């Protein structure tokens, strides 16, 4: 630490020998005061023991820390006073000239010598430089450029020594890591595995092989951890941000795993059982060569849900698929009559679906038997969604699967409640994200969003000036805009209870006075929030011991009342259109918002028609 500029020589001389150096050491060792924890509203805590990914600069930091900081001048230790010198003799020699400042600094801090690189290391350095130049000159993806920059930094931190060979022989990690790279398709990854590793030969060839192997490891880890498709490129209402593996972390983890290098590489894939089940189902579909699809019969086109009495050109195909006799002719052949509806209900019951008799998307997917490419693409798209999901979802949590129209509460890994929900319309989609439910509100008021005021209420107000008063709304002008509030009560659009969790979309789970909509099969009716069937029972579960429906009902009426959850629960608003049920059967759900169609196309499984 340099002394203050105004420090006098007398003060410096008063410092005991070594004290200043000791002060320097203590100050250098100080750390900045810890910043108070912010209110974390958008992340699920990582699993215990997990470490944050290191940036390339973190790897170089220990090397930089070994070089002491340069100082402008040395501070001498204090010395005892010296007696005045005797007068100089007449013939005394003139004093020797002081060395130039630049010569003094050169003597004190000699320039470090450049490390001597081996022929292979020199070839690695040259190859990385050429790779970087090619990246800057060509039109490569930003992710590729970032990976290559991290690759160069990682090799530079080890003086460009090859990572996967030593003394002309492959290291122990090569064989298991190469096996996992070659099996990347099992996890639906598009990674080009190297043919082999060249450990001996011309330095340029060895360097190229080593870098190619590292690049494949980085690509696998990045794709496996969710870096293949940006969720927001599918929809701005998908707020998930996958924790994409840092290239340096991936290289360090795999290159130091020994015989477990393959397992270390595979561990970048999602750990959830739902992902593992889809991975196994993908293998079955590929082994069957499409046997999961119904061969020899034309696929039944998608379309609206068919209900009793509707006419549709798909009805004859449905009759054929269900082997129904007594087919009517003429216009009646297109009618979804009682015979067809009863046969569909029997088919639904036999396949573990609600036997409504209506031909919905789930029933159609099983009945028509889509081709292998469509099934495979749907599985792969949902495996990719698992990569976006937080790795630690919480042993106790809440999950809302939008295409399934249900909310599930899990307590310590066991499902303890399942409720029907109403989600957003196609034009007012429910967002996809994860957060934490912290409290609920009894007797909530509804502050009507400006979008609803503009699009829905203003036309009604224009047609009927008494509309707001008749509906029980309160209105006022605030900051030049009309603000509308619906006070608590039986008619309130949020019902009696609202379940709160911070998010950027102003959505939440809540009760509703529109109970009949829970009887619909396709429950897309809200403005984006999630309406919960039987909210009192749901509140009992999330609040836990000591709470009952009766206790909550006693709080009804009057002003808003806040109730904190004894333990905040992670909540995940999900969009899974393919899942494996408890019987091992693949369930395909309707792609209600079109997210799957876009994701399949991004992954190379675009629809053919």
| Residue 327: predicted pLDDT | 64
Highest mean pLDDT (candidates 64-73, 510-519, 582-591): 510-519
Asked if 354 and 421 sit in the same domain, the reply is: no
Asked if 484 and 505 sit in the same domain, the reply is: yes
> 576 in a domain, yes or no?
yes
> 63 in a domain, yes or no?
no
Q: What is the mean pLDDT of residues 43-64?
A: 39
> 349 in a domain, yes or no?
yes
* Structure-derived torsion over alpha carbons of residues 279, 280, 282, 285, reported in degrees to the nearest 10: 180
Q: Say if residue 525 is exposed, middle or buried (CB neighbours under 10 Å; 0-12, 13-18, 19+).
A: middle
CB 234 within 8 A of CB 432: no
Asked if 220 and 327 sit in the same domain, the reply is: no
pLDDT band at 326 (very low <50, low <70, confident <90, very high): low
Q: Select from 369, 401, 419 the last residue of a domain.
A: 369
DSSP secondary structure letter of residue 330? G
> 135 in a domain, yes or no?
yes
Q: What is the mean pLDDT of residues 391-416?
A: 96
Model confidence at 370: pLDDT above 70: no
| Residue 288: predicted pLDDT | 77
pLDDT band at 107 (very low <50, low <70, confident <90, very high): low
| Residue 39: predicted pLDDT | 37
| Residue 350: predicted pLDDT | 67
Q: What percent of the chain has pLDDT over 90?
A: 63
**Three-class HEC string of 199-235:** CCCCHHHHHHHHHHHHHHHHHHHHHHCCCCCCHHHHC
> 394 in a domain, yes or no?
yes
Model confidence at 21: pLDDT above 70: no
Calpha distance 310→306 (Å, rounded): 6
| Half-sphere exposure at residue 598, Cβ-oriented, CA atoms within 13 angstroms | 14
Asked if 519 and 541 sit in the same domain, the reply is: yes
| Residue 142: predicted pLDDT | 85
| Residue 86: predicted pLDDT | 43
Query: In total, how many domains does the chain have?
Result: 3
Model confidence at 122: pLDDT above 60: yes
| Residue 88: predicted pLDDT | 43
pLDDT band at 54 (very low <50, low <70, confident <90, very high): very low
Q: What is the mean pLDDT of residues 434-453?
A: 95
Convert 270-297 to b/e letters by CB count within 10 Å (16 or more is b).
beeebbebbbebbeebeeeebebbbeee
* Domain CATH number, residue 341: 1.10.101.10
Model confidence at 126: pLDDT above 50: yes
Asked if 416 and 497 sit in the same domain, the reply is: yes
> 75 in a domain, yes or no?
no
Q: Which is more confident, 23 or 208?
A: 208
Asked if 336 and 406 sit in the same domain, the reply is: no
Asked if 412 and 534 sit in the same domain, the reply is: yes
> 112 in a domain, yes or no?
no
**H or E stretch including 586?**
strand 586-588
**H or E stretch including 64?**
helix 56-65
Q: Which is more confident, 77 or 172?
A: 172
> 564 in a domain, yes or no?
yes
Range of the domain at 515: 373-602
- β-pair partners for 406: 401, 420
Convert 183-211 to b/e letters by CB count within 10 Å (16 or more is b).
ebeebbbebebbeebbbeeebeebbbbbb
* Domain CATH number, residue 522: 2.40.440.10
Asked if 332 and 212 sit in the same domain, the reply is: no
Q: Which is more confident, 139 or 524?
A: 524
Model confidence at 471: pLDDT above 60: yes
Give the residue from 521, 529, 452 showing the smallest Cα distance to 494.
529
pLDDT for 229-268, tens place per residue?
A: 999 999 999 999 999 999 999 999 999 999 999 999 999 9
Of 23-37, 318-332, 483-497, the range with the lowest mean pLDDT is: 23-37
Residue 492 gets the label, from left (phi > 0), alpha (psi -120 to 50) or beta, of: beta
Block residue for tokens 């709160």:
500
Q: Which two tokens stand for residue 218?
A: 């980085």
SS3 19: helix
Asked if 544 and 583 sit in the same domain, the reply is: yes
Q: Select from 338, 369, 400 the last residue of a domain.
A: 369
Sheet containing 481-486: which strands, arranged edge to edge?
446-447, 481-486, 474-478
pLDDT band at 65 (very low <50, low <70, confident <90, very high): very low
Asked if 322 and 418 sit in the same domain, the reply is: no
Calpha distance 305→164 (Å, rounded): 57
| Residue 225: predicted pLDDT | 97
Q: What percent of the chain has pLDDT over 70?
A: 77
Asked if 339 and 306 sit in the same domain, the reply is: yes
pLDDT band at 512 (very low <50, low <70, confident <90, very high): very high
Q: What is the mean pLDDT of residues 27-52?
A: 38
| Residue 429: predicted pLDDT | 97
Q: Select from 331, 348, 369 the last residue of a domain.
A: 369
Of 57-71, 238-252, 591-605, the range with the lowest mean pLDDT is: 57-71
The mean predicted confidence, pLDDT, of the chain is 82
Asked if 431 and 494 sit in the same domain, the reply is: yes
Calpha distance 126→367 (Å, rounded): 59
């Amino acid at each position: 630490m340099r002394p203050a500029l105004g420090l006098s020589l007398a003060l410096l001389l008063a410092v005991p020998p070594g004290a200043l150096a000791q002060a320097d050491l203590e100050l250098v060792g100080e750390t900045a005061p810890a910043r108070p924890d912010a209110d974390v509203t958008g992340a699920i805590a990582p699993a215990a023991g997990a470490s944050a990914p290191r940036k390339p600069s973190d790897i170089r930091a220990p090397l930089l820390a070994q070089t002491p900081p340069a100082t402008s001048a040395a501070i001498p230790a204090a010395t005892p006073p010296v007696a005045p010198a005797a007068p100089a003799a007449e013939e005394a020699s003139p004093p020797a000239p002081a060395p130039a400042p630049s010569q003094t600094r050169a003597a004190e801090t000699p320039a470090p010598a450049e490390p001597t690189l081996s022929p292979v290391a020199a070839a690695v350095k040259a190859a990385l430089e050429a790779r970087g130049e090619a990246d800057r000159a060509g039109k490569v993806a930003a992710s590729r450029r970032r990976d290559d920059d991290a690759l160069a930094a990682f090799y530079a931190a080890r003086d460009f020594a090859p990572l996967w060979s030593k003394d002309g022989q492959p290291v122990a990690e090569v064989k298991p890591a190469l096996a996992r790279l070659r099996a990347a398709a099992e996890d639906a990854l598009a990674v080009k595995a190297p043919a082999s590793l060249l450990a001996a030969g011309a330095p340029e060839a060895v360097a190229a092989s080593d870098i190619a192997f590292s690049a494949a490891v980085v690509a696998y880890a990045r794709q496996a951890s969710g870096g293949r498709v940006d969720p927001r490129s599918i929809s701005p209402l998908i707020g998930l941000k996958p924790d994409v593996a840092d290239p340096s972390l991936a290289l360090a983890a795999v290159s130091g795993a020994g015989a477990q290098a393959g397992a270390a590489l595979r561990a970048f894939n999602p750990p959830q059982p739902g992902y593992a089940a889809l991975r196994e189902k993908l293998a079955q579909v590929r082994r069957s060569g499409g046997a999961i699809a119904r061969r020899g019969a034309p696929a039944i086109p998608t379309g609206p849900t068919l209900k009793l009495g509707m006419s549709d050109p798909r009805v004859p195909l449905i009759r054929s698929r269900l082997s129904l006799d007594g087919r009517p002719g003429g216009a009646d052949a297109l009618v979804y009559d009682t015979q067809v509806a009863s046969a569909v209900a029997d088919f639904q019951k036999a396949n573990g679906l609600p036997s409504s008799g209506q031909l919905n998307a789930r029933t159609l997917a099983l009945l028509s038997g889509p081709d292998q490419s469509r099934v495979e693409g749907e599985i792969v798209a949902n495996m990719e969604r698992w990569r976006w999901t937080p790795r630690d979802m919480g042993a106790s949590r809440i999950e809302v699967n939008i295409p399934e129209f249900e909310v599930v509460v899990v307590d310590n890994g066991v499902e303890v409640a399942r409720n029907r929900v109403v989600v957003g319309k196609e034009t007012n989609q429910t967002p996809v994200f994860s957060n934490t439910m912290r409290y609920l509100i009894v007797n909530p008021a509804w502050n009507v969003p400006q979008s609803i005021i503009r699009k829905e209420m203003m036309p009604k107000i224009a047609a009927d000036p008494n509309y707001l008063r008749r509906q029980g709304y309160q209105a006022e002008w605030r900051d030049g805009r009309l603000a509308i509030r619906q006070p608590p009560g039986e008619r309130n659009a949020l019902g009696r209870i609202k379940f709160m969790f911070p998010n950027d979309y102003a959505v939440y789970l809540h009760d509703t006075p529109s109970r009949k909509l829970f009887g619909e099969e396709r429950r897309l009716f809200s403005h984006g929030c999630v309406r919960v069937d039987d909210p009192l029972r749901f509140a009992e579960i999330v609040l836990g011991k000591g709470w009952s429906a009766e206790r909550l009902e006693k709080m009804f009426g009057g002003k808003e009342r806040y109730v904190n959850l004894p333990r905040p629960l992670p909540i995940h608003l999900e969009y899974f259109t393919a899942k494996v049920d408890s019987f091992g059967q693949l369930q395909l759900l309707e792609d209600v918002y079109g997210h799957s169609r876009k994701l399949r196309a991004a992954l190379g499984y675009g629809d053919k028609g």
